[in-house]
Amino acid sequence: MEQQKPFWKKSIFIIGMAGLFFLILVIIVVIAVLSTDPLREYESKFLKYAQDCKLTSEERGALDTFAQNKKLQVAKTKEIEMRILADKCAGKVLPEEPSEQPQAHKPESPVPQFPPSASQAPTTPSVEAKLNLQQGLNYAKLKDFDNAINEFTRAIEKSPNYATAYTNRAVAYMQQKKYNKAMDDLKKASEVAPGDPMVYYNFTALYSLQNQIDRSLDSLDRALDLGFKDYDSLRKDPDLNNVRKDPEFRKVLEKYKVFIK
């Protein structure tokens, strides 16, 4: 005759099974919550859109609409974007060695970059300011110039004599056709870094866009005199189209033994 298990053993078994079932239920709920976390969904969408480090206006609009519908905090979404951009578009952005490259105008990218300038501003920018600059460059690559300008502004607030930040912000303003603001920033950059040829190259582009040819030529002369050597930009930069049509353009180049087709 089969011996029955004591009642207390049956109770332990039942309690154990109930506990296991409850644990499984908790795990399922947690997974469901995580899978529907709006921030995670936003991160997934941004990862999908930023595969080539570019974001179309439609994609930007879709992200903003999603964030508004889900009532996501802007600070949280920007934190997600900058983490992804730092990983995908500029390598890991490390506080010890943030990359820093001033922008210039080249036709192959929306806000291309020059090599680092040899000239230095009177004071060394803080690490935090350099990180803001890098974040601004990441935004500029996505043609998100509003956020790029915000980051460059933060860099300037932390390091008021940061010439590279002024130059980059000027270029972003030029992309938005805010020429007066671009002029103010380039003037400030020329004050804190008077020997930087990139500053005067951007003066050349800005004056050309405004069809102020004489001033554009003077700025070009100054840039070349200071050692500007990105001849491909001189040849192809669309912002130089106006000044490039003037016969004096080639004369200025020839003065420094620069010959372009």
Between residues 74 and 148, the one the model is more confident about: 148
Give the DSSP letter string of the chain. -PPPPPHHHHHHHHHHHHHHHHHHHHHHHHHHHHHT-HHHHHHHHHHHHTTTS---HHHHHHHHHHHHHTT--HHHHHHHHHHHHHHHTSS---TTS-----B---TTSSS-BPPPPSS--SSPPPHHHHHHHHHHHHHHHTT-HHHHHHHHHHHHHH-TT-HHHHHHHHHHHHHTT-HHHHHHHHHHHHHH-TT-HHHHHHHHHHHHHTT-HHHHHHHHHHHHHTT---HHHHHH-GGGHHHHTSHHHHHHHHHTT----
Between 220 and 20, the higher pLDDT residue: 220
Could you give all domains of the chain from N- to C-terminal order, each with its CATH number? 125-193 (1.25.40.10), 195-260 (no CATH)
- Under a CB-based contact definition with an 8 Å cutoff, are residues 97 and 76 in contact? no
For residues 182-196, average pLDDT: 96
Q: What is the pLDDT of residue 108?
A: 35
What is the reported pLDDT for 49?
75
Residue range 5-29, pLDDT digits in tens: 555 556 666 676 777 777 887 777 6
Task: Please tell me the distance from the alpha carbon of residue 80 to that of residue 233, in angstroms, as a whole number.
Answer: 34
Q: How does pLDDT run across 62-102, given as a tens digit for each residue?
A: 888 888 887 888 777 877 877 777 666 543 332 323 334 44
Name which residue leads in pLDDT, 55 or 94.
Answer: 55
